Amino acid sequence: FVFILCANSYAIKLFSRVTGKRKEYMSVPWDSIRVWSVESAGNFDLDMEMRCWFKGFWDNKVKQDLRSGRADIIAIQQYIAHFVIGNANGIAALKYAQSVSSMPAGSMDKFLSYVTNDAIVKDPQAISEKLHTSPRILQEDETLESAYKCGRDLFLFSTKRIIEIDVKGITGKSVEYKSYPLRYNKAFK
């Protein structure tokens, strides 16, 4: 198989070619992408992954393995974010949400929170500063409204999207950054 992933200002395109005469072409317009994620390489799985879920009547998921060291998944994430949520106005999504302050937690509280899978409120400003530099996940005009840590994972609410940072494997070397644009989140449970 040969896979080629291309993108322009109108759509993301996937070309796959099986040795022989059969070819498959898929074009997904940017405005139909609902969720996307990029995942770094791990210890055992040496390939990186990019996934997009979109609104459509056909198979609504594209998964592409990328060879580690040959693609910049953070740049791919930024490129998709530019076209999917780049025109969002940046108004605070949680403007009228109830304020929650974090309590200082002792070692037993941290252990129990990890075991019971409780989310701990984190400082969104510190995480925002980190995600504006390395890895550069947030856009320049995007700020974090709130952040929650659950085990090793983070759930972030920004002015443009909900971001799930999923640390995978025993070593935590593989990390998936999944983005849900706020304009497509009409309800939650």
Count of Cβ atoms closer than 10 Å to residue 146 Cβ: 18
The larger pLDDT score, comparing residue 189 to residue 162, is at 162
What is residue 148's three-state secondary structure?
strand
End-to-end CA distance of the chain: 41
Higher pLDDT, 52 or 86: 52
C-beta of residue 87 within 8 angstroms of C-beta of residue 184: no
Please indicate whether residue 64 or residue 179 has the higher confidence score (pLDDT): 179
The pTM of the full predicted model, rounded to 2 decimals, is 0.73
Residue 110: what pLDDT? 62
- Residues with Cβ within 8 Å of residue 179, at least 6 apart in sequence: 35, 36, 37, 77, 80, 81, 84, 85, 161, 162, 163
Confidence (pLDDT) at 128: 93
Local structure of residue 106 (DSSP, 8 states): -
**The predicted structure's pLDDT at residue 100:** 46
Q: Is the pLDDT of residue 72 over 50?
A: yes
Residues 6+ apart with CB under 8 A from 74: 38, 135, 136, 137
pLDDT band at 87 (very low <50, low <70, confident <90, very high): low
Residue 83 has pLDDT above 50, yes or no: yes
pLDDT at site 98: 46
Residue with more model confidence, 102 or 139? 139
Residue 22 has pLDDT above 90, yes or no: no
Would you place residue 118 in the very low, low, confident or very high pLDDT band (cuts 50, 70, 90)? low
pLDDT at 59 over 60: yes
Higher-scoring residue by pLDDT: 84, 2: 84
Pick 108 or 143 by higher pLDDT: 143
